[in-house]
Amino acid sequence: MKKKVRIGLIAVFGVICIAVAIAYAMKPLTVDILKATQADIYDYVEEDGAIVSDQSVTLSAKTTAQVSAANFENGDLVREGDTVLILDDTAIQSRIDQVTHQISAMSEDKDFNLVSLKYQISQQKIAVDQLKEEAAYVGSQYDQAQALYTAGAISETALTDAKQRYDSLQLTTKQNSTALASLQAQYSEILNANSGIATLEAQLTSLELEKSYTAVQANAEGLLTNFDIHVGDYVTASYPLASIVNPDAYKIETYVLTEDAYNLKEGDAVDLVIKRNGENFDYKGEIYSVAPNAVETVSALGLAEKRVKVLISPDTLAEDVKVGYDVKVKFISEFQLDAIAIPKTSIFYEGDDAFVFKKVEGKAVLTKIETGMETDSKMVVTSGLTDGDEIIKNYKIAGLENGKRVD
């Protein structure tokens, strides 16, 4: 009897288990559903860029010296002719003072010598004139003595004495005339001797020009960028100190990997993101130019990469956005209009075939699909789904299988 009861209980328990199993199998599986809809799908390539200006000039010094004053800072607006830096001109001024003193001393010596010679010349000329008058008078006496000697009125000794006086005065007059000519030649030579002073004056002009270079002036109007010069720094002639850029000629410069740049072209729309004060601001722009050749760059990880330079014309930017600011640039690398795209996490594979679970009349239906373009998170389905189909988001949910009731 007891054995029959035990067998009966086991049978009842088995029936209950079967009923429970059947009930569980018939119970719908709770799943998350997404609806397949047609939409325009875009895939983006994001690169780092920076704001640059395609109108800029280089600011440099024309002499080597230490900075004694800096009148502007990086990012300031300057006008052409503004004095950006003042360089120490102590050494140049010392040389200017020295050459000026030399010119003054040489000029004073010249003036003194000319005055002295002019006085000597005037005195010598008076002496020569007097000697000429005296020689003329003595000459007339000698002529009379010759006449008297011929007439027998004077002796030969008297004639000889008259001749000697005349000859002596002639010689003295000649010597003094020669001395006068020598003084006049010296005066003319000193008066016209400007080579020494001219050389010093040329040096002075050069030094004064060099001193003017100690005021480093802006050579254009615009924003002062890449400027990091301070009082006490030494600057070298012709070495770039900064750039002055036209703030109205903004461009965004970036470099795109060659595999992402193949289909970029002028006029393509791009999205721009600029971070200011910890907040991201979105802007629009379009590709201005794509370089015809790639260049080799080095990534942040130190890897050599081939990239193409791309310039972008942005729409109006905020006034406080300046040259040198970092920009995130998002290019549309691929797109498909009116496409059905679903999350990649809803797709699974068996071999080379792709599948999803659709919800059809309350049941999970295993559905083979064909895929095409993909983005970071989605995949375009080219066949197997239609607009409005319901897709089970998570194909890995426990108990999910073909034909399973779902809700």
Place of tokens 């003072």: 97
In a domain, 384, yes or no: no
Tokens of 325: 């600011």
- Report the sign of the C-alpha dihedral through residues 174, 180, 181, 186, in that order: positive
Q: Return the CATH number at 252.
A: 2.40.30.170
The whole domain housing 82 covers 56-88+214-243
Note whether 269 and 308 are same-domain residues: yes
Residue pair 265/286 in contact (Cβ under 8 Å)? The answer is no
pLDDT tens sequence across 255-311: 999 988 888 889 998 998 888 778 888 888 899 999 999 999 888 788 899 999 999
Note whether 100 and 204 are same-domain residues: yes
Residue pair 184/124 in contact (Cβ under 8 Å)? The answer is no
In a domain, 282, yes or no: yes
In a domain, 385, yes or no: no
Split at pLDDT 50, 70, 90, the class of 16 is low
Domain count, the chain: 4
Q: Please report the beta strands in 299-325, taking only residues with DSSP state E, as ranges in sequence order.
A: 304-314
Q: Show which of 155, 187, 209 is a domain's final residue.
A: 209
Q: What CA–CA distance (Å, rounded) separates 227 from 241?
A: 6
pLDDT tens sequence across 349-404: 999 999 999 999 999 999 999 999 888 889 999 999 999 999 999 999 999 999 99
Prediction pTM value = 0.45
In a domain, 136, yes or no: yes
Q: What CA–CA distance (Å, rounded) separates 201 from 103?
A: 7
Note whether 293 and 309 are same-domain residues: yes
Note whether 322 and 256 are same-domain residues: yes
Residue pair 244/220 in contact (Cβ under 8 Å)? The answer is yes
Note whether 197 and 99 are same-domain residues: yes
In a domain, 325, yes or no: yes
Note whether 112 and 189 are same-domain residues: yes
